[in-house]
Amino acid sequence: MGDPISIAVSGLNAASLRLEAAASNIANSQDTAPLTPQPGDPQPYQPIDVTQTATPGGGTQAADQPVTPPSNAIFDPGSPFADSNGNVASPNVDLAQQLVNLDIGSISYDANLKVIRTAQQMQGYLLNIFS
């Protein structure tokens, strides 16, 4: 089993990545682009998800992973990016899921921070016993 503080730090890093991904997805959820961008056209926003895996000895590792498919066609004939059918590319972002991801990230961050504080307190108590 690994050191509780290093395990909790890996959890803090994973929670931070989850919060960053959710914030980016929410901020770009209303962006639109052409369904088939030409040179010089804006590219559709690529939403990201976070995958988290356990590491040997304890802890976790998190990584960004692109959401597939990255965009959905929506009808918006007034958009400057609309094709002949009035469709544009809209990011494949589920706002409800992103809000859940924000909550999960926030709760996970707080929990890992409490683990670090508790481990430090326990080390302090142990040092007081032996001094």
- Which H or E run contains 116? helix 95-130
pLDDT of 130 > 80? The answer is no
Which residue range is the domain that position 50 belongs to? Answer: 4-130
70/92 Cα distance (integer angstroms): 5
Q: What's the pLDDT score for residue 10? A: 96
What type of residue sits at position 100?
Answer: V
- Asked whether the predicted pLDDT for residue 67 surpasses 90, the reply is yes
* Other beta carbons within 10 Å of 103: 11
% of the chain beyond a pLDDT of 70: 98
Q: What is the pLDDT of residues 18-64, one digit of tens each?
A: 999 999 999 999 999 999 999 999 999 999 999 999 999 899 999 99
Whether 82 has a pLDDT exceeding 80, the answer reads yes
Please say whether the dihedral angle defined by the alpha carbons of residues 28, 95, 76 and 38, taken in this order, is positive or negative. Answer: positive
Contact yes or no for 62/11 (Cβ under 8 A): no
Percentage of residues in the chain having pLDDT higher than 90: 87
What is the number of structural domains in the chain? 1
